[in-house]
Amino acid sequence: MKQKLFSISVNRSLMIALVAMLAMGACKSKKKVAQPAPPAPVEQVQQPAPPPAPVSSAEEIAVGKLENYFNSVAAAGNASIANQTIQEALAMFSNQETPVLIVIHEENGIKDYDEPTTIKKYLEYLKDTKKNLNYISDIRMDANGKVSELELRRK
């Protein structure tokens, strides 16, 4: 009988040990569930810096000013206002004989120009006709920041 008692107590001890291990294992898993998982390391994605505000080149600034002068000369109420605006516009050019080319046709990259004129003559033309039918398509500047050549196209 002692053997049976011993085998029962061994079986019972093993059973208790197994239950205890399961209980402890279950406790650990409950703790893992109960405790929040440590946050995953967040990779900080650096967004590229926004592009700098567009900086206008000297040519773009000159085009804007010249377009305003051309429109002002064409819309001038009288000759004295037009002449004053013409003098202001001429200050932007290397000289009064700066060439102004007007594109009348372009095909396959080959441009046909109207008869070449000068900026002085073109501004006088705007004053007389009171119409600005062209826009600046190309501008060339010299080393001093003055306009050395102007190419216009029909609007």
pLDDT grade for 38, boundaries at 50, 70 and 90: low
Question: How many whole angstroms from its chain centre is CA 66?
Answer: 25
For the chain, helix, strand, coil in percent to 5 are 50, 20, 30
Compute the distance between CA of residue 107 and CA of residue 48 in angstroms, rounded to an integer. Answer: 42
| Pairing mode of beta strands 147-154, 99-107 | parallel
Per-residue tokens: 49: 């810096």
Residue predicted with more confidence, 38 or 80:
80
Among the residue ranges 36-40, 56-60, 123-127, the one predicted with the least confidence is 36-40
pTM equals 0.64
Q: In the chain, what are the domains?
A: 58-154 (3.10.450)
From residue 92, how far is each of 63, 66, 89, 147 by CA, in Å? Answer: 10, 8, 6, 6
pLDDT in tens, 92-120: 999 999 999 999 999 998 999 999 999 99
